[in-house]
Copies of this chain bind each other. A is one copy, B any other.
Amino acid sequence: MSLAAAVHIQSLTASNFSTVYNLFSLVIASMLFTAIYLLASQRRVAPRYRNAIVISAVVCGIAAYHYFRIFNNFEATYPAGATVDSAHQISNVVFNEAYRYVDWLLTVPLLLIETVAVMSLSRGESRSLLFKLVPAAAVMIGLGYPGEEASSTGGRLLWGGLSTLAFVFIVYVMYTELARSVVNQPAEVQPLIKRLRLALVVLWCAYPIAFLFPVFGGSFFGGEGGFVLRQAGYSIADILAKAAFGLVIYQIARIRSGLEDPAFELGHGDAPVSAPRSATRAA
């Protein structure tokens, strides 16, 4: 895309480099193994919830892939200096923020789908809800990217502001739908749905805040400090909004499975694979 070039941070201290580097590695490990855990555990929820669990796993898997890329890219952009304690100067390789936006373009719609899947809506209601939310997510991310790459504060604020309109719409709709859904949920699940609702508002707000760090300007936020904080903010928010969020979805699916089918009672797990076997066991 022929956007104005972003402001590039010229150099990172050895300790700032290590902090970002280790956080990226933590995200890879968290996402990859949450994906594996969810895939390996899908049979511990009733069949009707398995799609939500597999989608949660896919979200974490896509994020793990992008963080592998981001990790390698970060190493190439800021190679080691003369000694282990030297600053890491920028190389000729650009630090590609687009990985994050491509990741979000794929994972945010999937996160919306997995959340709607545990809301106990009718099929028609789910469809009409996603019909509004998924395009809004594409608009939100599509408008955010030029802001991330803008070379001026004005550009960052303009694109960021437009993106925020879609963001507010999505968070508002999801919040009210989750609130409406709470009353239709079994009592055991209500606290978890409330936690999802809170996570959605608190965690998602971490993204626009991290986006804004460079706008705060000054020697800290305008430079290396703002870069490190932004990467840290996106990384931690991604772990919570994808991996931790996916595990809460899994919890909800486990509890509802147990309530709806005794074969999935908590502490048990897998469904009987065939009806006669469960009949035999029950006998």
Interface of A with B (CB < 8 Å)?
A: 1-3, 5, 8, 14-15, 18-19, 21-22, 25-26, 28-30, 32-33, 36-37, 39-44, 47-48, 50-51, 54-55, 57-58, 61-62, 65-66, 69, 77, 80-86, 90-94, 96, 98-99, 102-103, 105-106, 123, 261, 263, 266-282
Contact assessment for A94 and B80 in the assembled complex, using a CB-CB cutoff below 8 Å: yes
Closest Cβ of chain B to A229, distance in Å, is 13
Q: How far is the CB of A15 from the nearest CB of chain B, in Å?
A: 5
Q: Shortest distance in angstroms between A79's beta carbon and chain B's nearest beta carbon? A: 9
Instruction: State which of B15, B96, B106, B123 has its C-beta within 8 Å of the C-beta of A266.
Output: B123
Measured in the bound complex, the distance between the Cα atoms of B2 and A36 in whole Å is 34
- The residue in chain B whose Cβ has the minimal distance to the Cβ of A105 is B26
> Can you report 7 A-B residue pairs in the complex whose CB atoms are below 8 A from each other?
A18-B94, A22-B96, A26-B102, A32-B65, A37-B54, A85-B94, A261-B281
Question: Given contacts A280-B275, A280-B282, are A102 and B29 in contact (CB under 8 A)?
Answer: yes
Residues of B contacting A32 in the complex (Cβ-Cβ under 8 angstroms): 61, 65
Instruction: List B contacts of A94 (CB < 8 A).
Output: 14, 18, 80, 84-85
Q: How far is the CB of A117 from chain B (nearest CB, A)?
A: 10
Once the chains bind, are B40 and A54 in contact (CB under 8 Å)? yes
Residues of B within 8 A of A277 (CB): 271-272, 274-275, 278
On whether the beta carbons of A98 and B33 are closer than 8 Å, the reply is no
CB distance from A223 to the nearest CB of B (A): 16
Q: Please give the distance in Å from A137's CB to the nearest CB on chain B.
A: 16
Instruction: Report if A15-B29 is in contact (Cβ < 8 Å); known contacts: A58-B36, A80-B93.
Output: no
Q: B residues within 8 A CB of A33?
A: 58, 61-62, 65, 106
Residue from B28, B48, B77 within 8 A of A269 (CB atoms): B48
Residues of B within 8 A of A8 (CB): 84
A273 engages B273 (CB within 8 Å): yes
List of B residues within 8 angstroms of A48 by Cβ:
267-269
* B21 contacts A96, C-beta separation under 8 Å: yes
Residues of chain B with a CB closer than 8 A to A26's CB: 102, 105-106
Instruction: Give, as a whole number of angstroms, the nearest-CB distance from A277 to chain B.
Output: 5
Q: Which residues on the B side are within 8 Å of A57 (C-beta)?
A: 36, 40
- Min CB distance A161 to B, Å, is 24
Interchain nearest-CB distance for A250 vs B (Å): 11
Chain B residues, CB < 8 A from A90: 84
